[in-house]
């Protein structure tokens, strides 16, 4: 994809996802009921409250709760028909709460509600973290040294997550050990099929090839599942991550799935289109791999093309799920209906990586 097209897409995504708006009619709920619940369950809560909806988010509707002395964030399951295992706000709450005990950068949690009678679906309340959300991967507003520091901060935070002793913080039951990649391929295949809106030949080839070519799993860690620049909040002035957001896809699994997802921008995004990464201040893919390996005690990484194929395939499954919600009338984002071509592009990119990893048509 041409760099101008990719940058324009990033700019449009930032505009569509930044800030708050009045609550959409389809996502309204009984605010008085929420206020009663918060008064009874959130330590230190003092109303009255005002509710606004964050523009961003394709999956779980997210709201800003404004009170006279404090701002909170509410994440909820969307109303309507849902895919099995999706929108697990209780799992988000569990992992964020556990990681908060270690000093890992997450928002402070205040309470989880699994009573549909309160606002119609399950939800949880967490702190509103103030800082910088950076959308454009090329960081055009910063100098090269600042860009490099931000990228290293991003990689270090992910390595810190993967180095966390999940059993020590009570997350030994947060996922099943072993065969993570096989289960993930199966999961996204099922989601794609459940949401399918058009035949895509490359997806059918991938559905056949990926399970037959799984790399061996050497480690198990907490994996975020959607670790990217705009899913984290940076300190207002320092190149330091102060909160990682959107834990809906987190589980125990293969940490390389997380790290290679982060690397996708080097091979199929705005970073890939930059003519000179070193001059720009962004680590090369080789430098990013070396730094991650240093932080996690690895001698190197193999099977990168397989993981790139998997990550593009998984993204195709996620975007197809959004299209499925358009079909079912539960989509959360105004641009959701326009994502059909993106699924096709991701499927084609995935098959290209798969061929590099040894797949044949």
Per-residue model confidence as pLDDT tens digits over 32-55: 999 999 999 999 999 999 999 998
Do the domains spanning 19-127 and 144-356 agree at the CATH topology level? Answer: no
Tokens at residue 260, please? 């290679």
**Angle in degrees, 0-180, between the axes of helices 285-296 and 144-163, rounded to the nearest 10:** 40
The lowest-confidence range among 18-22, 115-119, 172-176, 337-341 is 337-341
- pLDDT tier at 335 (50, 70, 90 boundaries)? low
Contact 217, 180 (CB under 8 A): yes
Q: CA-to-CA distance for 10 and 16, rounded, in angstroms?
A: 10
Place of tokens 């984290």: 232
Residues 6+ apart with CB under 8 A from 67: 45, 46, 47, 48, 49, 50
Q: Which residues contact 183 (CB under 8 A, 6 or more apart)?
A: 176
Whether domain 19-127 has CATH 3.40.50.620: the reply is: no
Candidate from 69-83, 146-160, 167-181, 203-217 with smallest mean pLDDT: 69-83
Measured distance CA(227)–CA(155) in Å, rounded: 10
Give 185's Cβ-side CA count (13 Å radius). Answer: 23
pLDDT top residue among 17 and 70:
70
**Do the Cβ atoms of 189 and 222 come closer than 8 Å?**
no
Domain edges within the chain: 19-127, 144-356
H/E run at residue 54: strand 50-54
Whether the predicted model's global pTM rises above the 0.85 cut: yes
Quick one: pLDDT at residue 56?
Answer: 67
More confident residue, 56 or 324: 324
Element spanning 109, H or E: strand 109-113
**Average per-residue pLDDT in the chain?**
90
C-alpha–C-alpha distance, residues 110 and 128, integer Å: 11
pLDDT at 16: 53
Examine residue 48 and say whether the peptide bond preceding it is cis (omega within 30 degrees of 0).
yes
User: What pLDDT is stored for residue 265 in this prediction?
Assistant: 92
The single-letter DSSP state of residue 288 is H
**Cα separations (Å) of 361 from 87, 158, 209, 219?**
35, 35, 9, 31
Query: What is the Cα–Cα distance from 258 to 244, expressed in whole angstroms?
Result: 13
CATH class of 144-356: alpha beta
Which residues on adjacent β-strands are paired with residue 54? 20
What's the pLDDT at 18? 72
């Amino acid at each position: 994809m041409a760099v101008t097209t990719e940058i324009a897409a990033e700019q449009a995504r930032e505009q569509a996802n930044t800030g708050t708006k009045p609550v959409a009619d389809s996502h309204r709920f009984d605010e008085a009921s929420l206020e009663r619940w918060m008064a009874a369950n959130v330590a230190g809560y003092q109303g009255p409250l005002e509710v606004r909806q964050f523009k961003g988010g394709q999956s779980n509707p997210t709201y800003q709760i404004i009170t006279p002395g404090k701002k909170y964030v509410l994440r909820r399951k969307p109303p309507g028909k849902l895919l099995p295992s999706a929108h697990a706000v209780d799992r988000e709450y569990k992992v964020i709460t556990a990681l908060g005990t270690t000093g890992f950068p997450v928002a402070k949690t205040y309470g989880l509600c699994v009573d549909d009678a309160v606002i119609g679906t399950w939800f949880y309340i967490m702190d509103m973290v103030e800082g910088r959300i950076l959308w454009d991967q090329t960081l055009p507003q910063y100098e090269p040294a600042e860009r490099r520091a931000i990228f290293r901060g991003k990689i270090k935070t992910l390595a810190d997550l993967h180095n966390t002793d999940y059993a020590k913080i009570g997350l030994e039951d947060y996922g099943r050990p072993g065969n993570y990649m096989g289960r993930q391929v199966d999961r996204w295949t099922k989601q794609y099929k459940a949401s399918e809106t058009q035949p895509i030949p490359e997806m059918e080839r991938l559905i056949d090839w990926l399970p037959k070519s799984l790399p061996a799993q050497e480690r198990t860690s907490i994996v975020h599942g959607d670790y990217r620049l705009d899913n984290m909040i940076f300190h207002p002035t320092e190149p330091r991550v102060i909160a990682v957001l959107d834990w809906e896809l987190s589980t125990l699994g293969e940490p390389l799935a997380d790290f290679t997802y982060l690397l996708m921008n080097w091979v199929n995004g705005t970073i890939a289109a930059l003519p000179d990464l070193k001059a720009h201040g962004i680590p090369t893919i080789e430098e990013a791999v070396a730094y991650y390996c240093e932080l996690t005690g690895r001698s190197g990484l193999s099977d990168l093309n397989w993981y790139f194929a998997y990550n593009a395939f998984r993204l195709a499954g996620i975007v197809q799920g959004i299209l499925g919600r358009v079909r079912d009338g539960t989509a959360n984002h105004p641009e959701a209906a326009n994502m059909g071509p993106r699924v096709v592009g991701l499927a084609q990119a995935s098959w290209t990586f798969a061929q590099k990893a040894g797949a044949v048509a």
